[in-house]
Amino acid sequence: MVLNYKTFTLGVEEEYMVLDPESFELKSHEQRIVQEGQKTIKDKVKAEMHQAVVEVGTDICQDIDEAHKDVSLLRKTIYDIAGDLGLTLGASGTHPFSHWEKQLITDHQRYNEIIAELQEAARSNLIFGLHVHVGMESRELANHIANSTRYFLPHIFALSTNSPFWEGRTTGYKSYRTKVFDKFPRTGIPDAFDSIEAYDNYVKMLIKTNCIDNAKKIWWDLRVHPFLIP
């Protein structure tokens, strides 16, 4: 199979900690950062499950340079907005000392459903991430790339670890974020699928057996998007 990198597009999402600028404890921004951000960058800023988290996402970018430019602009925009509101931002897989029990949950239908289903596992899921979306010509190609890329996930994690602390303690892990997220079902490195039809049938089976109600509740570290199609 011959691939042309020009056929791929990129999108990047980043989740930031919202912090008190003096104590550096996590602090709820009460969606003020989102409200202010939407005035200039529209839907490129979003709320997250915990109110001390804010998410930004780039446009669909044609290459890495364009993605880098968009990410840089988003970082500066959100940082400046947070500063104007008497807050600051941080970036890491976990906060080193704030406790999840003290964090407020965003009142949103999707988050409420996840809390109702997963209870304490969801409430304690106080983690932050960077997600990269790659647009491809077809779902068949996406499945092929996903199968091939599974092998490299441990290498990528090893290069990107940044969360050795949890609630003020050294955890003994370079990436404690992965251990926190392990409490969620359907996480980690995915299985390989012989075809996109096999993947779709797997999703249908999960829905039919009431394991999930939609494919967005599959949280593998690498996955074909369940809804977006070329």
> Which residues 6+ apart lie within 8 Å of 34 measured at CB?
45, 46, 47, 54
Q: Please give the domain boundaries of the chain with CATH numbers for all domains.
A: 7-220 (3.30.590.20)
pLDDT, residue 10, reads 95
Ranges of residues in the chain with a pLDDT under 70 are 1-6, 228-230
CA angle 133, 190, 134 (to 5 degrees): 15
Which pLDDT value is given to residue 28?
95
DSSP 66-122: HHHHHHHHHHHHHHHHHHHTT-EEE-SSS-SS--GGGPPBP--HHHHHHHHHHTHHH
What residue type is assigned to position 6 of the chain?
A: K
Task: Give the model's pLDDT for residue 6.
Answer: 64
Helices (H), 88-195: 109-118, 120-123, 139-149, 153-160, 176-181
pLDDT at 22: 98
pLDDT of residue 226: 79
Evaluate whether 108 touches 47 at the Cβ level (below 8 Å): yes
